[in-house]
């Protein structure tokens, strides 16, 4: 569900993974012309210019056509639209289907993760909801550059089943039962990537960026532990792995948005320039609110929120962060 850059790319991963088993993958595209292009030319030129999609992918703008008979429903739409979109098609999901979220955002207003929104709106039990997260820049994967990822579900069998369905020669999924840790790692790294992008945009060097990445991981870890997730998850692909990929890549939309802010553009101007979803812009406030609810110190997230909401200039961000009271590096609380 979603024919954007990651929805289309992940459809290709799955189609390549299951081609020999005679399984087909169907994409729901919002626009009729996008569905038509996928069916007729096997391309999605708006998002993946050079990629030829496999023959066992078809598309439709009719959600009923796509969901009818689907054993696995994969969601790849912008996080802030999920609730409304899902409400419109939840009754079309087959009674035993599993829902997999590819999304990396936190819902504003409720501070819920996407797996929690899915559970609430579609009224599904935990064992039928999974998330996938890792260092997965869509453009690289579309070019079949090797990477790995994590399928997280509280039910081991479900996680293994999904991992089989998306294990392609260039894509290696691991499994994990720490859904919260996997999901939050993917959400918070977008905010840290905004901060790193801002450093880049202001012309700061690698020491600065490395400091933000490392301390960004420290504050992500504090949040995940406070909410009941596991430390080892943060050391894995959906934690450190995705953080490094997103913070170092010019392909990242969050990194790019941060860089534009660092170059002095206003948020409205940045939003106008972005043709794809940069989840961190909307999720930053929700993550900060969540951290306050659980009394977790997240100074980089707080500074990013202040910049996004016009309460702090990017130039004053470093001064604010470095002037805080000194403390031990090992403090996780």
Ligand X SMILES: O=C(CO)COP(=O)(O)O
Q: Which does 193 bind (CB under 5 to 8 A by kind): ligand X, ligand NAI, none?
A: ligand X
Q: What is the DSSP string of 167-219?
A: -BTTEEEEEES-HHHHHHHHHHHHHHHHHHHHHHHTT--HHHHHHHHHHHHHH
Q: Is 242 annotated as a binding residue?
A: yes
Report the residue number, 8 or 252, with the smaller CB distance to ligand X: 252
Q: What single-letter DSSP state applies at residue 225?
A: H
Name the one residue in this structure whose structure tokens are 């995705």: 242
**CB 70, CB 45: distance < 8 Å:** no
Report the residue number, 92 or 251, with the smaller CB distance to ligand X: 251
Report the residue number, 221 or 238, with the smaller CB distance to ligand NAI: 238
189 is catalytic: yes
Q: Is 253 annotated as a binding residue?
A: yes
Pairwise CA distance, residues 270 & 265, whole Å: 6
Q: Please state the closest distance from residue 177 (CB atom) to ligand NAI, in A.
A: 20
Catalytic hit among 189, 209, 282, 327: 189
Q: Please state the closest distance from residue 131 (CB atom) to ligand NAI, in A.
A: 10
Q: Which does 254 bind (CB under 5 to 8 A by kind): ligand NAI, ligand X, none?
A: ligand X
Strands laid side by side in the 98-101 sheet: 72-75, 98-101, 129-133, 147-152, 171-176
Q: Which does 3 bind (CB under 5 to 8 A by kind): ligand NAI, ligand X, none?
A: ligand NAI
Report the residue number, 136 or 221, with the smaller CB distance to ligand NAI: 136
Catalytic machinery residues: 189
Binding positions for substrate are: 104, 253-254
Binding positions are 2-7, 30-31, 47, 104, 134, 138, 189, 242, 252-254, 279
Enumerate the known binding-site residues for NADPH.
5-6, 30-31, 47, 104, 138, 253, 279
């Amino acid at each position: 569900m979603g024919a954007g850059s990651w929805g289309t790319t992940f459809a290709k991963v799955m189609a390549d993974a299951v081609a020999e088993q005679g399984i087909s993958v169907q994409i729901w595209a919002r626009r009729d012309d996008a569905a038509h292009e996928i069916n007729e030319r096997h391309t999605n030129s708006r998002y993946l210019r050079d990629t030829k999609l496999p023959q066992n992918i078809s598309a439709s703008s009719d959600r009923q056509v796509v969901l009818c008979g689907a054993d696995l429903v994969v969601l790849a739409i912008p996080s802030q639209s999920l609730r409304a979109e899902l409400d419109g098609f939840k009754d079309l999901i087959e009674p035993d289907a599993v829902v997999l979220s590819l999304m990396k955002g936190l819902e504003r207003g409720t501070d819920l993760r996407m797996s929690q929104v899915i559970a609430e709106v579609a009224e599904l039990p935990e064992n039928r909801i999974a998330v996938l997260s890792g260092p997965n820049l869509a453009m690289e994967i579309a070019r079949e550059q090797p990477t790995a990822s994590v399928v997280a579900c509280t039910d081991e069998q479900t996680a293994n089943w999904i991992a089989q369905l998306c294990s392609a020669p260039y894509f290696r999924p691991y499994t994990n039962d720490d859904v919260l840790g996997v999901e939050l790692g993917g959400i918070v790294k977008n905010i840290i990537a905004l901060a790193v992008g801002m450093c880049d945009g202001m012309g700061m060097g690698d020491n600065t960026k490395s400091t933000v990445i490392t301390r960004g991981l420290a504050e992500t870890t504090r949040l995940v532990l406070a909410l009941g997730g596991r430390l080892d998850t943060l050391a894995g692909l959906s934690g450190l792995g995705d953080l490094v990929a997103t913070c170092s890549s010019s392909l990242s939309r969050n990194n790019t948005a941060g860089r534009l802010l660092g170059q002095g553009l206003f948020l409205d101007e940045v939003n106008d320039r972005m043709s794809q979803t940069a989840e961190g812009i909307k999720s930053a406030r929700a993550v900060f609110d969540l951290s306050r609810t659980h009394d977790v110190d997240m100074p980089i997230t707080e500074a990013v929120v202040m910049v996004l909401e016009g309460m702090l200039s990017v130039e004053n961000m470093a001064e604010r962060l470095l002037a805080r009271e000194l403390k031990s590096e090992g403090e996780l609380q």
